[in-house]
Structure 1
Amino acid sequence: MSVMDTVKAGYKLIALDLDGTLLTEDKRISDESKKWLRCAVDHGVKVMFSTGRGLQNAKLFWGELGLDSPMVLLNGAEIWEGPGRLRKRIFLPRYTVRRLHKIAIQQGQWYWGYSVESLTNEDAWTPEMFERDWMKFGIGSHDVKMLAQIREELESWGTLEITRSAPINLEISVKGVTKESGVREVCEILGISMSDVIAMGDSDNDVKLLQAAGLGVAMANGEEHVKAIAGAITASNSEDGVALAIRKYVFDME
């Protein structure tokens, strides 16, 4: 039986988180993952990223895999129909960015943001930055209690989507902007449904997407609450978990 004979017709799109999922700990895509992603593409399955990264540090991997598919970046705040084909950007109000910046400074925590122009951290932040439009703002701290307090305050505003890609950060976008909302829009572009999607991830910012997809696959290295809501668990990002999931759930091969 050939690989072609074993493709499961129900899955038409693979939505991949990058850090902790597709990327190894040294930020590479393994040869095995490349092989099975290419096999999926060759057999008509779309492959896309659904990542908290912005174009500034995701486009390298987009090019490395030679993908022409849509992409969901910045946890859904930026959607591309394909390389060089922007569909939308959803910006935080400038006054909100000022408030977020003020909180980070007052609490003595590190921060960063993604604008069209750049990924900018606190070391490079200047007054001019407040004149830019920001899609995502991040606050980080090794004080988990402090982060919880900041999150509670931000949630009280009622206008923000707050998630995290690691226990030591908060990732902040406009309310309703998530990886799920982004992938839903990609499904509209492609004329498919969420039931046609396999999504893979490891962190809090993957949860809504994994729950909404036809199959949500958590990485073995993922956070415990992510694994608890997933429909399946694959091997870790250092053990070709993405490749193994594609073999099993797309091509029905153990």
Structure 2
Amino acid sequence: MLPYRLLALDLDGTTLNDNKEISFPTKYWVKQAVENGVIVSIATGRGRQTAEAFRKELSLSSPMVFLNGAEIWKTPADLFERHYLKTQDIFRLHRLATQTDSWFWGFTVDRFIRKPDWQDEDVNDRWMKFGLLNNNVTLIKELKLELESWGHLEITQSAENNLEISAKGITKEYGIRKVCSLLDIELENVMAIGDSFNDLQLLTSVGLGVAMENASDEVKRAADKITSSNEKDGVARAICQYIFEIDYREKL
């Protein structure tokens, strides 16, 4: 019997290499996990609009967690739940991005909207996530404090120069907990792999949290184990070592 029933995979910096591709070894070992009864769920900050191609590439039909937990699907055709930001907050976030000359993006039910795409009427769409990016890291820290002071938002990061904003309480951990309840799986039977701050809560709540070698020091300190980088098939190696309990080098 394999030690974990559910494998939760981040995409960027984890399952994807720096060219935003899934390597052959990663695809092979994900397939081996699925064929041996492990449920593999993507848990990503991406929206379905930009993550669906990778789900298809991995041939997964299991529950998926998108937008850091703001959108959860039981199957590719069966939506489970969505969580929306308030229109007033989108207005304020857009104004903050404009005032600080920050790049911004976000996901609504139907669209992936970036700064050049913005139309004033977009504020009324059903937004699930809003992102801010500025290479002035000091400014990002100040913006994070400002947004936290609003008191009703969930703010996380996928890099030190960005902020990802969702409704309060919406995280990848929340999403995977929901998936576990759907599948009648305990969190202790979950292995999660990630690399960034938006993976932190998930990695520390599951049975085995695995950080990529390219993760930040804070994430690596919080994880139970560290695997190779996303450029060296870290996900494939972790599946071999912690799910199948074999030496990846034997399968090269």
Matched, 1:31 2:24: yes
What code does the residue aligned with 1:195 have? E
Matched, 1:85 2:78: yes
RMSD: 0.7
| 1:59 match: secondary structure | helix
Provide the C-alpha distance between the structure 2 equivalents of 1:227 and 1:159, rounded to a whole number of angstroms. Answer: 28
- Give the Å deviation of 1:22: 0.2
Provide the C-alpha distance between the structure 2 equivalents of 1:252 and 1:106, rounded to a whole number of angstroms. Answer: 52
Q: What's the counterpart of residue 141 of structure 1? A: 134
Q: What's the counterpart of residue 8 of structure 2? A: 15
| 2:79 match: secondary structure | strand
Structure 1 gaps of 5+ residues are 1-6
Mapping for residues 56-95 of structure 1, pairs under 5 Å = 56-95=49-88
- Give the Å deviation of 1:107: 1.4
Mapping for residues 182-197 of structure 1, pairs under 5 Å = 182-197=175-190
| 1:19 match: secondary structure | helix
TM-score by length of 2: 0.97
* Structure 1 residue runs of 4 or more that deviate by more than 3 Å after TM superposition: none
- Give the Å deviation of 1:89: 0.7
- Give the Å deviation of 1:65: 1.1
Aligned pair partner of 1:215 in 204, 208, 211: 208
| 2:11 match: secondary structure | coil
- Give the Å deviation of 1:109: 1.1
- Give the Å deviation of 1:214: 0.4
Q: Deviations over 1:51-110 (max 9, x none)?
A: 000000100011111111000000000000011111011000111111111111111111
Matched, 1:153 2:146: yes
- Give the Å deviation of 1:40: 0.5
Q: Deviations over 1:135-169 (max 9, x none)?
A: 00001100001011111010011101100111110
Aligned pair partner of 1:102 in 95, 99, 110: 95
Matched, 1:112 2:105: yes
| 1:21 match: secondary structure | helix
What code does the residue aligned with 1:248 have? Q
Q: Deviations over 1:167-217 (max 9, x none)?
A: 110000011000000000000000011101000000000000000010000
Q: What's the counterpart of residue 115 of structure 2? A: 122
Q: What's the counterpart of residue 4 of structure 1? A: none
Provide the C-alpha distance between the structure 1 equivalents of 2:91 and 2:133, rounded to a whole number of angstroms. Answer: 17
Provide the C-alpha distance between the structure 1 equivalents of 2:71 and 2:14, rounded to a whole number of angstroms. Answer: 20
| Identity percentage of aligned residues | 49
| 1:225 match: secondary structure | helix
What code does the residue aligned with 2:209 have? G
| 2:175 match: secondary structure | helix
Provide the C-alpha distance between the structure 1 equivalents of 2:101 and 2:81, rounded to a whole number of angstroms. Answer: 33
Provide the C-alpha distance between the structure 2 equivalents of 1:69 and 1:195, rounded to a whole number of angstroms. Answer: 19
